Structure 1
Amino acid sequence: MAFEADAGSVEVAGPVKVFTSSEWAERAFCATCGSALWYRITAPGLMHGQYQIAAGLFDNAGGMAPRLEVYIDKKPAGYALEGGDARRQMTEAEVIEAFAPKE
């Protein structure tokens, strides 16, 4: 699940560990159990500030359809999401081109 938020508009309760995972993003995990919480674009540009949030954090995310699938060329053969035509799918090269800072 993805959404845009202004700096300071997202409030998180609980022990969270955030680290810079690339030149253009950060990742956050629960400091107690290690569950993934979000991936946020930190690089300047169109995607700056966008959060990719784990759907499992919400009580009922079952009715939500995915709109973006990244690293599609790296997913295990046994993984398949329904509705592939209704969402954007990006390869590793496309993700890097879209999100990595430009020199």
Structure 2
Amino acid sequence: METPNTTEATGSCLCGAVTIHANALKTSVGACHCSMCRKWSGGPLMVLDCGESLTIKGEDNLSRFDSSEWAERAFCKRCGSHLFYRLKPNNLHLVAAGIFEYLDSLVFDHQVFIDEKPEYYAFANQTHNMTGEEVFALFSND
């Protein structure tokens, strides 16, 4: 998998109470099929790697949920929009791709926890696919 390009972008929740600005948003879109993401989003969660820091406006409308030993999830308290999950060990923010508008440079190129993907859906894109075990191995080497 090639190292994706980066760009700057601003996005928001559905009601606009929370705005997120990413200075180093990678243009590589990934889908997570883990059971937590599917329960949280109602399907696969499409995310963009936005690095270690985000500028968040409306932080008082942001709720953070400690979903596991290794991640927390954030959503808008007002409208319920799923905004990001943060990997605790390296402070990596994976932001819901749908909150950003007009990003023509995005490329859907990878899927994680492919071993947990249910059979009732499939993407047509050719992607790099990783199992949950492969994902944990990748992040344990950081």
Name the TM-score, length of structure 1 as normaliser. 0.71
- Identity rate, percent: 38
C-alpha separation in 1, matches of 2:104 and 2:124: 12
Q: Which residue in the other structure is 1:2 paired with?
A: 49
Out of 99, 107, 114, which is 1:57 matched to? Answer: 99
C-alpha separation in 1, matches of 2:110 and 2:63: 25
The 3-state SS of whatever aligns with 1:94 is helix
Instruction: Structure 2: give runs of 5+ residues left out of the alignment.
Output: 1-47
- Is 2:111 the counterpart of 1:69? yes
Out of 132, 136, 139, which is 1:92 matched to? Answer: 132
Q: Quote the offset at 1:68 in angstroms.
A: 3.1
Q: Quote the offset at 1:30 in angstroms.
A: 0.9
Using a 3 Å threshold, how does the CA distance of structure 1 residues 82 and 61 change in structure 2: closer, same or farther?
farther
- Is 2:57 the counterpart of 1:13? yes
Name the TM-score, length of structure 2 as normaliser. 0.54
Q: Which residue in the other structure is 2:85 paired with?
A: 39
C-alpha separation in 1, matches of 2:128 and 2:92: 16
Q: Quote the offset at 1:63 in angstroms.
A: 4.3
Conserved 8 A contact 1:3-1:52? yes
The code of the aligned residue for 2:49 comes to A
The 3-state SS of whatever aligns with 1:52 is strand
Instruction: Structure 1: give runs of 5+ residues left out of the alignment.
Output: none
Q: Quote the offset at 1:83 in angstroms.
A: 2.7
Report the RMSD for the aligned CA atoms in angstroms. 2.3
Conserved 8 A contact 1:55-1:61? no
The 3-state SS of whatever aligns with 1:95 is helix
Q: Which residue in the other structure is 2:121 paired with?
A: 79
